A and B are shown apart, each in its own frame.
Chain A
Amino acid sequence: MDTESTHSGYSYSSRSGRSNRHGRERHKAGSSKDSSRSERSVVINPPDTPSQDSPVHNGEPLPGEPTLAADHGEDAQDDNWGETTTAVTGTSELSVSQEEVVGLGKGIQDRTHSFRRYLPLAVGLCVGLLVLATPLDFLLLPAVMWPDRLQACGAACEGLFLSIAFKLLMLLVAIWALFLRPGRASLPRMCVYRAFLTTLTLLLTMSYWLFYGVRILDPQDEDYHGIVQFAVSLVDSQLFVHYLAVVLLQLRQLQPCYSVCVIRSTDGETRHYNVGQTSIQRAALSILEFYYRDFPLHNPSLLSAAKQRAAKHLAELKVYNVDAPGNAAGAQPANGTQSRAMASAAAAAKRKDSAHNELYYEEADYERRVRKRRARLVVAVEEAFTHVRRMKKEDERASPSDIMDVHEAALAIFPSMARALQKYLRTTKRQHCHSMENIQKHLAFCLTNNMSPKAFLETYLAPGPTLQYGPERWMADQWTLISEASVTSGIKQGSEFLLRCLDFSLAVTVKSIPYIRLTEEYIDPKTHKFLLLLQSETSV
């Protein structure tokens, strides 16, 4: 039986739908990042076959899917389609596996990413060149095409040349400053205002070219002064469009309008920020920049205690109703109490009651352990710092083997505090954030800048912002914006959206800053007068 197994989602005979599914399959594989990737394989299930155990249909015609019938009509020569068509899941040896499909998508995605990163720069460059070249062309073309009939350029006209030169220079610098910078982020959709401004600029330039072509090039106008003035007016209009660009792209979002509340889903860290009028994607970008600065590093190992409690709680709820003592062995609840139903129910209830007790004592115990370790660490570090001192003038007589540079000094005092530091980091579950080289580098930095032992320790005592740690913790390219409203629409009172990273997400709610009505009241300084209130009692 020769069968052809093809990738799921393709059917050999439905060629008409093939290219569509091609694109859809690729798009789906490439752009979705959610965790339910296991349901990706598609099974084509003919309606009257109950099971799909064997993917091969031996000579039986597949029942009517209309596309198959239609294509069968087209493909009159292919009579073997009943035997040669198979619908396969990922189990066939020739099918493409799930990881490879994802890899396909990713390959395309990487190429598109670098393309998307430089696209705004390329567009800006093209438009900028067009904008700069147009007035120069307006001036040069008459001199090139009909130089003999052109009126001589007087003093006023040559003054205008100067003005064009300086205005073009300012326009060049302004375009470079605003548009030709490398983008600091890659947003899901393009900025509406940028598109609008590009269109406006192109429209302006095109209409000027049109006018120039119809009224100046065609009749070969001889009034050069007028042409120069026309070119100057073009440069002025372009400068005004650039002013509009500054207002729309930069100034509009400066004034704070909305107060945004950001909550991290795993540990509930909350911060509030003020943002101005922006689109949802730009607001998400500024929130992420604040996130990297303000939120302490996300530490999944701190959440394991809560998960264990939740798991224990769930396990205790499995109290089986045991009728006969013989079934007790098979129906034991997970916490291993006695097999009698009532006893296990009672024990589960008692354990539920004491869960908060356990939590309280566990937390108190943890606090005490952390404080003990911290005390040992502080003492160890202070002692280590006393062993090293900056070299002074009178020490120049000392033997050269005693004089060390800062890295050697750091290496010398590091072992005495290493153990205490590592124990402390283990207790607070942050040992994976700091490597030995990092600690030694930080120690060298503190020694160079004459910092106290307390200043050196501060980095390790509290979790700092994410940027403080190495780039492997940043996960800067894993963010997904999930929003019901379109991400290029502006944020409004009551907008909500989600920013998801790999294993946590940031829930963002937007509220507008209230309209504040401030009134004034004038108080004359002469009205500040006081009385003395006495109540004395005299005995007579």
Chain B
Amino acid sequence: MSYIPGQPMTAVAQRIEIQKLRQGDHLILGFSIGGGIDQDPGQNPFSEDKTDKGIYVTRITPGGPADVAGLVMGDKILQVNGWDMTMVTHDQARKRLTKKKEDVVRLLVTRKSLEKAVKQSMSH
């Protein structure tokens, strides 16, 4: 998942659709994000490349909407509802995920095991 700035990036991605859950006044998704271009990438435990400033899933509430939808801890979020998440600040990422008017978020996520799975299926 490391990439050279300015060059196109390829990754094996998975679409995940999460239904927001209403809790009182808020709509929650049931996971936590970390990362962003204004954050320190060296402290990210999930990234392969420690210069990667993308948004990662750091925690999943068990039984929450994200867990039910199949989001796994350590996933890197590439897109949210069509909006890019590889070059955003932490606050911008939070805002795009918590829009009050949207009930559903469609994420494009990538993880290491996806590539392995693709390779395995290609070698068969």
Contact = CB atoms under 8 A, between A and B. Distances in A.
Contact of A540 (B29, B40, B43): B29
Contact of A538 (B38, B42, B61, B94): B94
A537 B39 CA distance: 10
B40 A538 contact: no
B33 A540 contact: yes
Contact of B39 (A535, A539, A540): A535
A539 B31 contact: yes
Contact of B33 (A533, A534, A537): A537
Interface in A491-540: 533-540
A536 B31 contact: no
B32 A535 contact: no
A538 B35 CA distance: 10
B98 interface: yes
Interface in B92-110: 94, 97-98
Main secondary structure of the interface of B (DSSP, over half): mixed
Interface string B1-45: 000000000000000000000000000110111100011101110
B58 interface: yes
Contact of B32 (A533, A534, A538): A538
B59 interface: yes
Nearest to B95: A540
A539 B43 contact: no
Nearest to B35: A535
B101 to A, nearest CB: 15
A534 B39 contact: yes
Given A534-B38, A535-B43, A540 B31 contact: yes
Interface string A187-230: 00000000000000000000000000000000000000000000
A115 B21 CA distance: 112
A538 B44 contact: no
Contacts of A538: 32-34, 90, 94
B60 to A, nearest CB: 10
A537 to B, nearest CB: 5
B29 to A, nearest CB: 5
Nearest to A536: B90
Contacts of B90: 534, 536, 538
Nearest to B28: A540
Nearest to A531: B40
Contact of A536 (B28, B39, B59): B39
A533 B40 contact: yes
Nearest to A535: B43
Nearest to B42: A533
Nearest to A533: B40
Contacts of A533: 39-40, 42-43
Contact of A535 (B29, B31, B44, B59): B44
A531 to B, nearest CB: 9
Interface of A: 533-540
Q: Which 8 interchain pairs have the tightest Cβ spacing?
A: A533-B40, A539-B32, A535-B43, A540-B97, A537-B34, A540-B29, A538-B94, A537-B32
5 contacts: A534-B90, A537-B32, A538-B33, A539-B31, A539-B59
